[in-house]
Chain A
C-alpha cells in the first residue's frame, strides 16, 4: 500500500540557516511520482516539484533542492539560507501509476523560520 512518512512534525530555524525536510515513502509500484507542496497559513497547497520514479537526478531551483534516493525510498527537500517567508507546512506526496488512483500525502512538517 502507498504510504508517506514525514518524521519531523515541526522544525524551527533561524533565518539564513539551511534546513532539510525528510520524506520516506512506501510503494509496491515500479512507476510512481513524488511531489512536494507548501501550505502557507492561507490554506492553499502550492505545488513545488514533481519527480517520477525513473528520474533520480537531484534538482535545484533557487534556494530549494531535492534529493531523491530510490535505494532508501526517500525524497528529501532542502531550503538553503531560509527566509521568514519559507514558514509554512510542507507536504510530501506519492502518486502510483498502476496500483493507486489518488495522491497520498504525508502528515506534513511545520517549518518556522525565525527572524
Chain B
C-alpha cells in the first residue's frame, strides 16, 4: 500500500513568489493535515481537511492556504513568500479526522528554501 506522497521534495523560491505543494494521501484516507517544521518553532499545525472541507486551521497568516479535492488529494499554497517560510512542510493523512483519535501517517515532506 503506497504511503503519503508529497511533491516536490525540494524547491527553492525567491522572496515574494508563491509556491504550491501537493500531497496524495494513503488510499482510503480522507483526512489530510499539513504541518510546518522549522528548527526554531518545531512542528506547527497548519490546517486539516476532511472530505474537501477545512476542519481546523492553525495560527498562520492568510498567505497560507490549502484545499482538498474530491479524490482526497490536497494542495497547500503560500503566497508572497518570506525568508521565514523556509521550512520542511509535512503532509499527513488518516482515515478520519484527527479528533477521532486516528493515527496520522506522514509523507517525506517538501523542503522549501526561500532566498
Contacts and interface: CB of A to CB of B under 8 A. Distances in A.
A43 B111 contact: yes
A42 B110 CA distance: 11
B98 A95 contact: yes
B61 interface: no
B98 A102 contact: yes
A102 to B, nearest CB: 5
Contacts of B109: 43-44
Interface string B74-115: 000000000000001010100001111101111111010000
A101 B106 contact: no
Given A35-B103, A43-B88, A101 B111 contact: no
Nearest to A37: B106
A38 to B, nearest CB: 11
A52 B103 CA distance: 11
Q: Is the interface of B mostly helix, strand, loop or mixed?
A: strand
Contacts of B62: none
Contact of B55 (A50, A101, A103): A101
A95 B92 CA distance: 14
A103 B44 CA distance: 9
B105 A102 contact: no
B11 interface: no
A95 B101 contact: yes
Contacts of A46: 106
B108 A102 contact: no
Contact of A97 (B101, B104, B105, B108): B101
Interface of A: 31-33, 35, 37, 42-47, 50, 52, 91, 95-98, 100-108
